[in-house]
Structure 1
């Protein structure tokens, strides 16, 4: 069972320990100084950003980070998506990583994604779809999306998080299931 809670400043040491893990650093390429963590995660922890940084727990143990935001809240990012695929109003995007290298390859990423999708449908009734862009070279990430029920709907150049990556991204989408009578 997966649970989420908003990240707080007290979680920054754990977040930093994950961001320096080679399997996370390769794709997230994030500065890990205290100043950089404060700059990039502090406003969200304080509720000053439209996005959510969520710690993911499995059986009570922290296993990863997920981010969720409305695409319309970030115009530059929205424009990148719209250049490649149709983006309905109120669409949501997510990002994610499994924190410890020893926990990868066990389906935890897929489980985290499935749980956040279910949570999104429950807590964001206005969201018609979740759309996610992944660097094409990051096969484990896009395979986790596929296993979680996402379908590839486009591909093309987007600004990669890590400048060593090719700009080619795959775009995945999952639509809200029809309401049950």
Structure 2
């Protein structure tokens, strides 16, 4: 996300010097290898991804498409399914899941979740569905469950209420 032209030396330098960028660097390499025509690319990509899952406790499947500007604020229990297409400047916090629902009709077009640009997902949130579209400039609040489409420029959250019962 810089105005400077891309160079491998600068990318490797940032991956070594900035620990918060190592996950993105290695996941991008693994994703590229997984989607390439190289015969051993899928094997190497799966191995890199397995190491990332063990080290960071974050699983982003290699089939997922994610634009530039991915920010994972805390690498703790983040899961993104391979059927997801995410735009640029995506921010996700800890304990979030983005994936497809449990009942899939195999005769239909493959399930997909499309997330627009500049989307933030709060901690402990779930985005689950077979074909969802989340628009651009959307903020999803913490501890939310999303299973419906969300239009552009929206703040979405699941309303909660606290019920206290006293023992008699």
TM-score (norm 1): 0.27
Higher relative contact order (Cα pairs below 8 Å, separated by 6+ residues): 1
Higher strand share: 1
Higher helix share: 1
